[in-house]
Amino acid sequence: MTPPNHFGFLAKKIYGTPIVGTIIDCSIAMIESNGGGPKPAHQHLHNHFFIVIDGEAAIYEGEKKTVVKNDEAIYVDGNTLHSIWNESNKPLKMIGITIRQEQNKE
């Protein structure tokens, strides 16, 4: 889509739900084919927002597997056992944003 008042500009919404928290860090990950990690799956107090730039990522959350392809994204709750794998025969490039969960202020 082209947003109003933009020219020569195309955009694709990759996530529509508000993300609550503070960004801790942001990195670009390059994962070899049949690579990934960690093993075993892990959990922690921060969440992740992953954006696939090139290739496809297999995201495991507990027993659930989600394949995220080019220009797609996924939000992963850090409290859920999770891991990320490149199960394809091509390299995977993705952006990972780490988000500190907001504490309940009640």
Question: pLDDT for 81-101, tens place per residue?
Answer: 999 999 999 999 999 999 998
> Over 60: is that where the pLDDT of 105 sits?
no
* pTM reported for the whole predicted model: 0.86
- 20-40 as b/e: b if 16+ CB within 10 A: eeeeeeeeebebeeeebeeee
> Over 80: is that where the pLDDT of 102 sits?
no
Q: Are 51 and 14 in contact (CB under 8 A)?
A: yes
Spatial distance between the Cα atoms of 32 and 89, rounded to a whole number of angstroms: 8
Task: Pick the range with the lowest mean pLDDT from 13-17, 42-46, 47-51, 68-72.
Answer: 13-17
Q: Are 83 and 61 in contact (CB under 8 A)?
A: no
> Over 80: is that where the pLDDT of 27 sits?
yes
- Taking the CB of residue 59, how many other CB atoms lie within 10 A of it? 20
The CA-atom distances, in angstroms, between 64 and each of 61, 76, 81, 93 are: 5, 12, 10, 22
pLDDT at 15 (0 to 100): 81
CATH of 22-100, one of 3.30.43.10, 2.60.120.10, 3.50.50.60, 3.40.710.10: 2.60.120.10
Mean pLDDT of 73-87: 95
Domain boundaries of the chain, sorted by first residue: 22-100
